[in-house]
Amino acid sequence: MRPWKLCGVAVVVALAATACGGGAGAGPGTDQGADGQGGSGFPVRVADCQGVTTTFSAAPRKIVTSNAAALEMLLRLGAGDRVIGTGFPPGKGALPGDLDAKARKVPVLSKSAIPKEKLLGSGADLYIDSFAAMKIMGGSAGDAPTAEEFKAAGIKHLYLASTACAPMAKKPQRDLSGVEGDIKRLGAVTGTSERADELVAGMRAKVGKVRRAVGDIAPDKRPTYFFFDYDAGTKQPVAVCRKQVANAVIGQAGARNVFEGCDGDFKPVSWEDVVAKNPDWIQLGVRNRGDAAANAKAFDQAAEFLKSFPATKGLAAVRHGKFLRIGSERTTVAGVGNADTVEKIAHTIHPTRFKAAH
């Protein structure tokens, strides 16, 4: 299931809407008590997009994640040993280094959205959701749990704001502060704030180097950029709009998202729209296939489609092979890897700006 299909339904409960900015300290919407009963930093109160707060008197011990994005954040925070299950698990080799091996040890409750009854009966005390409330695919597993059902099961329910709150955000995502805020809030909730600060500092250092190299390029002088979501289907392309994390990634790299003008996070467009935008660069966004050879094949297939499809084969970017082979997950889903993608895009489209650094 593609993220754009998940975000079209209103958020019932979500972390504070920092998708449009902020992220300093513990992040807007997070309040850490000085002498809470759960140890240093507790109680922690997290406000949702509607201003309703969830209070943690201690760090959760049994966590279920909706997908690989939230799972990866917890693994990086050092709280992976508390994850008792996940939906939408990361593909083999999708996570770097030893994170991949750790992710393989997490029980998979579903290869897609976790069925309602399985989630409520999981024994979790916290469920972290990366996207807005939705109907389970096909409806066979029933609806997603209601706030009352989560409460009855003893499960606190939190969302990653930079993705779940994106459709309702008032402002576009033009930097990674929303992602940073998610990491810091999860750090506060799990009692790993120090590690969260380290992760955010690492992201800022990478993005900061890119900003110093390309930040002086005027907006109208920046190359235009199209994220081609190959796995969303080729019959009708899906654009990443201004409220999607990818818009921030593209902009921070010194490029202009050709579909920044569309509201929301994802939007189906037409190939005529893409041709009219005539992007300078095209990212071949494919999801991780499990190994390097399968990934390379998928990138080749995405490129071949653009080269052979009548509507796109004449585009200058296609004729000159101005493709970037960067996976979808590190671009459209919130995580530490967003900073790596900013770096990779910038080095590809502005190579002369980084020559002095080598």
Query: To 10 degrees, what angle do helices 193-214 and 245-252 make?
Result: 50
Residues 99-126: tens digit of each pLDDT: 999 999 999 999 999 999 999 999 999 9
Q: Are strands 63-65 and 83-86 parallel, antiparallel or unpaired?
A: parallel
pLDDT value of position 86: 97
Amino acid identity for residue 282 in this structure: I
Residues 150-185: tens digit of each pLDDT: 999 999 999 898 988 888 888 999 999 999 999 999
- The number of beta carbons lying within 10 Å of the beta carbon of residue 349 is 20
DSSP structure string for 159-221: E-HHHHSGGG-SS---SSHHHHHHHHHHHHHHT-HHHHHHHHHHHHHHHHHHHHHHTTS-GGG
CA angle 275, 345, 341 (to 5 degrees): 115
DSSP 223: P
The structure tokens 């979500």 sit at 14
Residues 261-296: tens digit of each pLDDT: 999 999 999 999 999 999 999 999 999 888 889 999
Confidence at 23, pLDDT banded by 50, 70, 90: very low
pLDDT value of position 12: 28
Residues 38-95: tens digit of each pLDDT: 557 899 999 776 677 899 999 999 999 999 999 999 999 999 999 999 999 998 888 8
pLDDT value of position 138: 37
Regarding predicted confidence, which is higher, 29 or 66?
Answer: 66
- H or E stretch at 86: strand 83-86
* Torsion sign (Cα): 323, 328, 332, 337: negative
CATH homologous superfamily of 217-357: Nitrogenase molybdenum iron protein domain (3.40.50.1980)
What does the block give as tokens for 169?
């955000």
CA–CA separation, 171 vs 182, rounded Å?
A: 17
Q: Where in the chain is the domain with CATH 3.40.50.1980?
A: 3-201, 217-357
What does the block give as tokens for 126?
């916290």
Burial of 261 (0-12, 13-18, 19+ CB in 10 A): exposed
The CATH number fitting domain 3-201, selected from 1.20.1250.20, 1.10.287.3510, 2.40.50.100, 3.40.50.1980: 3.40.50.1980
Q: Give Rg (Cα) of the chain.
A: 20
